[in-house]
């Protein structure tokens, strides 16, 4: 199965066209051969999310059944139902997750990374010698490598995480509305606060990530070119001056990393607060309905499970994104750079010789 999935798409298809100027157009161009893989993956994400929502609803039903049925007759009355639920948990859910993970991690991610990086390399390698002399070789190589990784990370996290999150929240909203439409109020409040947080964080995170990638590209360019010209440096370089220039590059990379980390701490702390709001809202309202006799005990159990699961979804997605892309990769970076671009003002100082 893995061999078939790996051969689903040929990542070395001939295409050396200039990359579009915008990120969405660039992603559509370089990842168009993967649209079949993406469609299947999104469909499986919806199926997995639907199964998980159903399991939460069934957990609430099971609590009610256990509270109402007699122990001696419980298996005779509900044994078939329990066996069906067990088969879903033990067979259907793992099999669906296996196929989804295999498609995302074997058919999509490696092929997308190879395809984007290969196309960027072919396009950049066809530029003139003068174009390469405008920037450090290590910096250019970093942009080619990280540009493909960033594009892959965008698509992978959208397909693997975002599609599942949207489907799960939609299914949770449907389940709450079926039980009591008023349960949608805490969820709607949480979604509104989450959207406001993302509206504040995302633009700042993109700018901080842009500065971080520029700084990391400059650092890689400095290291690669310094090591590649180590013989020239050893004979002719102004060593104190080179060390001062290198220290500035390292300091810029550190400051850029600190900017990203400050935003991550702010976002994670805010998400913890929002998680508490949703948990208290759903569970508290479920308890209030149970006290008035308008909701069964299983509703409280389902509300607890849903609130914990929903609040963990964005944090899990963020962790996956950082693990896949790495700290130096950001989405929204055009790759490769335009041939007409001159040396960036943030590029490290060239090696100076006496």
> pLDDT (tens digit, 9 = 90+) per residue, 12-40?
876 666 777 777 787 777 778 888 888 88
How far apart, in whole angstroms, are the C-alpha atoms of residue 312 and residue 271?
9
Q: What is the mean pLDDT of residues 89-116?
A: 89
Q: What pLDDT sits at residue 321?
A: 44
User: Strand, helix or coil at 133?
Assistant: coil
Q: Residues 52-82, buried b or exposed e (16+ Cβ, 10 A)?
A: bbebbbbbbbbbebeeeeeeeeeeeebeeee
Q: What is the mean pLDDT of residues 317-327?
A: 43
Please indicate whether residue 182 or residue 349 has the higher confidence score (pLDDT).
182
Q: pLDDT for 104-140, tens place per residue?
A: 888 888 888 888 888 888 888 888 888 887 877 777 8
Average per-residue pLDDT for the chain: 78
Q: What pLDDT sits at residue 352?
A: 35
Q: Comparing 61-65, 220-224, 300-304, which segment has the lowest mean pLDDT?
A: 300-304
Please indicate whether residue 147 or residue 261 has the higher confidence score (pLDDT).
261
Please indicate whether residue 261 or residue 158 has the higher confidence score (pLDDT).
261
pTM score above 0.95:
no
């Amino acid at each position: 199965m893995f061999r078939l999935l790996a051969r689903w798409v040929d990542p070395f298809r001939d295409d050396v066209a200039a990359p579009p100027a915008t990120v969405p157009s660039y992603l559509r161009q370089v990842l168009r051969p993967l649209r079949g893989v993406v469609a299947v993956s999104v469909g499986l994400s919806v199926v997995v999310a639907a199964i998980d929502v159903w399991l939460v609803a069934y957990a609430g039903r099971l609590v009610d059944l256990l509270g109402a049925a007699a122990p001696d007759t419980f298996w005779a009355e509900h044994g078939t139902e329990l066996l069906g639920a067990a088969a879903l948990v033990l067979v259907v859910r793992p099999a669906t997750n296996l196929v989804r993970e295999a498609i995302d991690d074997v058919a999509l991610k490696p092929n997308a990374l190879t395809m984007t990086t290969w196309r960027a390399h072919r396009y950049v390698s066809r530029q003139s010698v003068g174009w390469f002399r405008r920037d450090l070789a290590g910096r250019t190589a970093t942009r080619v490598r990280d540009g493909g990784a960033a594009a892959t990370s965008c698509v992978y996290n959208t397909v693997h995480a975002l599609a599942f999150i949207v489907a799960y929240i939609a299914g949770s909203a449907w389940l709450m509305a079926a039980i009591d439409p008023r349960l949608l109020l805490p969820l709607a409040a949480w979604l509104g606060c989450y959207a406001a947080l993302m509206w504040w964080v995302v633009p700042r995170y993109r700018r901080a990530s842009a500065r971080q990638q520029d700084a990391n590209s400059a650092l890689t360019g400095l290291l690669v070119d310094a090591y590649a010209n180590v013989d020239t440096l050893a004979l002719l370089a102004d060593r104190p001056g080179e060390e001062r220039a290198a220290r500035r590059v390292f300091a810029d990379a550190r400051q850029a990393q600190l900017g990203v980390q400050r935003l991550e701490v702010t976002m994670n702390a805010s998400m913890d607060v929002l998680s508490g709001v949703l948990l208290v809202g759903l569970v508290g309202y479920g308890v209030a309905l149970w006290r008035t006799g308008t909701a069964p005990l299983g509703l409280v159990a389902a509300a607890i499970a849903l609130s914990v699961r929903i609040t963990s979804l964005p944090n899990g997605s963020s962790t996956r994104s950082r693990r896949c892309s790495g700290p130096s990769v950001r989405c929204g970076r055009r790759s490769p750079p335009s041939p007409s671009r001159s040396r960036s003002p943030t590029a490290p100082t060239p090696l100076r010789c006496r």
